[in-house]
Amino acid sequence: MGHGLAIFMLAIAPALLLVYFAVWINGTAWGLRAPLQMAIRADYFGRRSFGTIMGFSSLVIMSGMIIGPTFAGIMYDQTGSYRVSFLVLALFASAGALLFAFAGPPKASLRTQTPATVTHALMGTADTRAA
């Protein structure tokens, strides 16, 4: 949710101080995102599937990296502002965060292991059953 909030703040920022605060929130969210995302992927799917999950995730992310700037450019050409682009991006970032938060781990039958890990404890989804 940090990215969505930061991008929304950038879209509506009336003063430079709010921009600085949005940048701080976004930087903190990025710093937390990478290690948590890697840990969750490893915990949920195991080492055997990690590469496949990373590859698929990269494909989805790169699609957004191609479509996003193109969309932003078109919106700027149409409106003379990046505000619409930032608001749409904030909406997608927030929706993605909510979907991720409520998705939870896959069913035990889909996993190779069901460890009780720090990631599970942080997410409130600890599964202490034996594999």
Domain count of the chain? 1
Residue with tokens 């195991």: 46
Residue 76 lies in a domain: yes
CA angle 60, 121, 2 (to 5 degrees): 45
Residue 131 lies in a domain: no
Residue 46 lies in a domain: yes
Taking the CA atoms of 50, 56, 4 and 86 in sequence, report the sign of the dihedral they define. Answer: positive
Domain that holds residue 74: 2-123
- The predicted pLDDT at position 131 comes to 44
Residue 130 lies in a domain: no
- The predicted pLDDT at position 48 comes to 86
Start-end of H helices in the chain: 2-12, 16-79, 83-103, 118-123
Residue with tokens 């939870």: 104
Per-residue pLDDT of the chain (131 residues; tens, 9 = 90+): 888 999 999 999 999 999 999 999 999 998 998 898 888 888 888 888 888 988 998 998 899 899 999 999 999 999 999 999 999 999 999 998 898 888 878 877 555 555 555 555 555 555 544 44
Residue 60 lies in a domain: yes
Whole-number Å distance between alpha carbons of 43 and 111? 9
- The predicted pLDDT at position 101 comes to 81
Helix (H) or strand (E) holding 127: none
- The predicted pLDDT at position 113 comes to 52
Q: What is the pTM of this model?
A: 0.69
